[in-house]
Structure formats: C-alpha cells, structure tokens
Amino acid sequence: MFFDSDLLMSALRALTPILLAALGGALCERAGVFNIGLEGMMLMGCFTAVTTSWFTGSPWLGVLAAALASAAYSLILAVGAVTLRGDAVVLGIAMNLLAVGLTGFLLRTIFGVQGTFDDPSLAGLPLIGGFSPLAYLAWAAVGVTALLLSRHVWGLRLRGVGEAPRAAATLGVSPTRYKYAAVLLSGVLCGLAGAQLALGNVTLFSENMTAGRGWIAVVAVMLGRALPLGVLLAALLFGLAEAAGFRLQGLGMPQQATDAAPYVVTLVALFLSTAQRRRRAARTRMTTSTTGVTS
C-alpha cells in the first residue's frame, strides 16, 4: 500500500525543517521584509549544529549554537535591508551563495574532508515517538506564532509595521526595531531548522545539504500568505511530496525523478496560487467597475 502510516511519519519528519524556516519567513513578511535568505540561514545552522555537537558531544549545544549562528548570520539581511535600505532580494541571494561557499570551505578547513562529514561519534538528537523534540517544537510554534500575530501587542505592532510603517512610527512604534526583531527571529528559526535537518533527520553534514528546502520555505510563505496555519498546510504539502518521492524511489523509479518531486509540486502550487489570485483580482475589478457604472 502506497499511502500508509509510514508515509505520513516520513512526511512529518520532512516538513519540520521547512516549517521552522517558513515560520521565520512569515514573521519577516509580516514585518515588511521579504526574506529569501532562508536557504543560507538553514545551511549555516546545519554546519554549526554538526560542528558544535561533534566538538562538545552534546546535540543540544549544537542546537543552541545553530540558532545563535543563524541569528548572527541574519544580521546581514537586517543591516543591509533595514538600516542601509538595500535590496532584500539581492541580499538574500548573496547570503545563500555565501553560505554554500563558506560552509564548504569550513568543512575542508575544520574536518579535512570534502563533500560529506559523517562520524560515528557525532551525537544526534534523541527521538520521542519517532520524532525529535524540534519536530514537536515546530508544531507548537505554529500555534504560538498565530496567537502572537493575532492577539499579542507585539504581534499586532509587527503587522502594523509591515503594513503601514509610517503610521506605526507616528504612534511611537519603531519600525526599525521590529524589523530587526523579525529578521533575528527568522534566523533563530532557520538555525533550528538546520539543526533538525543535520541532527534530527540525519546525523551528518553534507555540502549544500539543504538542497533547496529554504527556497521551498519561501514558497510556503507565499502560498500560506504568511499565515501560520497556511504555512503549515503548505509545508505539509511539500513534506508529503518529499516522502512520496522517497517511496517511489524505493519502488524502482530513478532517483533524479523522485528528487524532483517536491520542486514539481512547488511549481504546480505556485502556478495554481497565482492563477487563483489573478482570477480573484479580475473579479474584484469587474465588481468595482459594475458598481461604478450602476452608480
């Protein structure tokens, strides 16, 4: 049977890194910062988690170091896009490229290997019910983020900064401070996503091991309209696609075809979402035009 409980478990494990990173991207989106540097932040989290866990023997120190390192790395976007008013898209792409080169260089410098570092003494995260604690944290973070953005003063101000920064400033709210906080929180969440990927899903580091998951997280933010529940559903869709790809690979399909499954789903989902958005916009224009003619 193709669809079974094992497939669902695999999908839930696959969605965790994407979900954590996408929640970070959603916070940035609500603050008015378009963050496409999620891939690079995740990759820095992967490398830092593995390095710290290997040197200290503690995966939890690896998780903490990954969150801090990715938060520090996110300052590139915060300073460049918020303080210096640079192009967030260009900065995000630069961060992604820098992370690939930097982690590859550090892999050869620190561990003396190229490609993949895999050591039996590398401590991974414990599993509870088949999932790492970071998986449960990711699911809980959906509810916390939803409450934060809809009920808490900080979340409401963050949304105000993203929608109308000048109006927020007139009320004594600092747009710069809230944008920095959103970017730093996205760095922390991406660091946790990288730690989950490198110490939870597997226990190793491989060059460019995020393999586009950060880009998928960006798409999840777009499909979910930066709403926590919408982001969760989008991440679940991509997790199912990745799990189905692995299942099809086990049934004899070529690896190249199965590896492409999540990205095919991404393109189809983007196409359908864009088409629906255009139809809705056209319907709104038609309604407005009809109302204007009637009046």
Q: How far is CA 103 from the centre of its chain?
A: 18
Q: How many CB atoms lie within 10 A of CB 11?
A: 21
Q: How many CB atoms lie within 10 A of CB 285?
A: 10
pLDDT value of residue 293: 58
Which range has the top average pLDDT, 95-99, 248-252, 282-286?
A: 95-99
- The encoded tokens of residue 188 equal 């922390």
pLDDT value of residue 182: 96
pLDDT value of residue 258: 65
pLDDT value of residue 294: 57
Q: Sorting pLDDT into bands at 50, 70 and 90, what band is 141?
A: very high
- The encoded tokens of residue 246 equal 């692995």
User: Model confidence over 4-21: pLDDT tens digits?
Assistant: 677 788 888 889 999 999
pTM for the whole thing?
A: 0.89
**CA proximity to 184, closest of 28, 23, 17, 51:** 28
Distance CA 74, CA 52 (A): 19
- Residue 254 reports pLDDT greater than 90: no
- The mean pLDDT of the chain is 89
pLDDT value of residue 9: 85
pLDDT value of residue 250: 66
**CA proximity to 14, closest of 271, 187, 258, 272:** 258
pLDDT value of residue 54: 95
pLDDT value of residue 90: 95
3-state helix, strand, coil in the chain (%, to 5): 80, 0, 20
- Residue 283 reports pLDDT greater than 90: no
- Please give the C-alpha separations between residue 117 and each of 17, 43, 106, 164, 222, in angstroms, as whole numbers: 20, 14, 11, 47, 34
pLDDT value of residue 271: 77
291 CB-contact burial (10 Å; exposed 0-12 / middle 13-18 / buried 19+): exposed
User: Model confidence over 165-189: pLDDT tens digits?
Assistant: 999 998 889 999 999 999 999 999 9
2 backbone dihedrals φ, ψ, rounded to 5°: -75, -50
User: Model confidence over 68-123: pLDDT tens digits?
Assistant: 999 999 999 999 999 999 999 999 999 999 999 999 999 999 999 999 999 888 99
Q: Any idea how long the chain is?
A: 295
Range of weakest confidence among 116-125, 143-152, 178-187, 277-286: 277-286
User: Model confidence over 188-238: pLDDT tens digits?
Assistant: 999 999 999 999 999 999 999 998 899 999 999 998 889 999 999 989 988
- Residue 1 reports pLDDT greater than 60: no
- Please give the C-alpha separations between residue 100 and each of 42, 62, 140, 254, in angstroms, as whole numbers: 11, 19, 30, 27
Q: What is the DSSP letter of 280?
A: H
